[in-house]
Amino acid sequence: MLQKWAFRSVFAYLLLGVILYVYLFYLADSTLPQMYKGGSADPETFMSSREIMLSEEFSTIKNLLFFLSTPYEWLFYFLILIFGVSRAFERWAKGTTKVGFLQTAIYLFWLSLVSYIAIFPFQFISYKVSTTYNISTQTFSMWMKDELTDFWVNFLLTFIIVSVLYALIKRFKKRWWLAAWALSVPFSIFMMFVQPVLIDPLYNDFYPLQDKKLEAQILDIASRANIPAEHVFEVDMSEKTNALNAYVTGIGSNSRIVLWDTTLEQLEDEEILFVMAHEMAHYVEKHIYIGIAIYIVLSFIGLYIAARLMNWIVRKYSDEMKISDVSNLSSLPLFLMITSMLMFAVSPFSNWISRYEETRADRYAIEMTQDKEAAISSFQKLSKVGLSQVNPPLLVKIFRYGHPTMLERLNMLEEYEIEEKKEEKTP
């Protein structure tokens, strides 16, 4: 039975890999519809033929890595369960110490280490692809430094979460998922509050925007939008990437509007002002708080489903999974596998919500700046520098895109101009 389960799961993964490869490299359609040829969304108007070819290659490889790495994670968790690796880690931890929280720490260390080693090939291939296509500028040593920082930050956070989670499972046999959900909400909000000042600086240096003239222009837009901003932050990203980005992070008094230095170097001031107006729209329209509300609902449903599935699987397949009780630490890979599957399943919905909010932010930015040309050129440069597809395949858009495609964003600007002209003609 064990060999049959292992063989079938590996075979299913390999078959999925072949199907995804054929779809992405041979069947998926990313060509631009004829009606958009020659317009602002046509890559031929702002990219060279070589850049178009590289963007297609790079995007396709990254998409394949994404779709392969997610089920690979599920396969990994499944195999360490059925082969008894997770149970061995738990026995090892219990045999080392009698102190409960130390047992959790020892178990998690070995699980985290084995997980990191198993997933490392995907991480390394992704890094090499990014450097090959000149997206990443990191040396291997710099990249490994970030990887190790990730490992220990994730280990610490996971240790806190898992310690509390399994204490709740032991305390509330049937309603542990409800208690876990009730505690996860304030914990997630707390992490959003402290991330800009405690976690983000572990990876990069943040400082107030050095171009004071540009900062004054950005703060003027913030003032007109009734945003209580005193500083705009820039972050040193050029030693890691050539890509462009800006974002809003944190909540409450720890909210920050952040610009990558690559964005400052490669965009004109008018384009940066459009990008900043876009980011401010997320604050104005309270997208962060909407996101928190959606998280509260989805995490409630997700934890309930995870608990029901874990109880059913352990009850029916305890011998095969090498789990005698849900409260055992060895059941953690099962919990992680189920929650990962649920998150992947709900990603089309969450991405759709995100794309809607980003579209709202784009529209807000063009209404605030009234600079269509800067908006168009900023989107074109984002696509060109990041080697992103203007019109990605439908499956990629559904599962990967939290932003509208460049075709949709540039087309929205064209339609906005048409709407404006119609309104001007209306008496």
- In angstroms, rounded to a whole number, what is the distance separating the alpha carbons of residues 209 and 249? 16
State the Rg of the chain over Cα: 24
CB 148 within 8 A of CB 255: no
- Whether 279 sits among the annotated catalytic residues: the reply is yes
What is the token pair recorded at 310? 């874990």
DSSP code of 27? Answer: I
Which residues are 241's β-sheet partners?
A: 136
Q: How many CB atoms lie within 10 A of CB 396?
A: 22
89 near 83, Cβ under 8 Å? no
Query: For residue 273, how far is the Cα from the chain centroid?
Result: 25
State the catalytic residue, choosing from 90, 215, 234, 279. 279
* Residue 323 CB contacts under 8 Å (≥ 6 apart), including other chains: 81, 86, 87, 314, 330, 331, 334
DSSP 150-202: HHHHHHHHHHHHHHHHHHHHHH-TTTHHHHHHHHHHHHHHHHHHHIIIIIGGG
DSSP code at position 33: P
Contact 41, 407 (CB under 8 A): yes
Side by side, the strands of the sheet bearing 233-235 are: 206-208, 233-235, 256-260, 246-249
Q: How many CB atoms lie within 10 A of CB 348?
A: 13
- For residue 136, give the DSSP letter: B
Distance, in Å, from the CA atom of 385 to the CA atom of 51, rounded to the nearest integer, reads: 9
- Residues with active-site annotation: 279
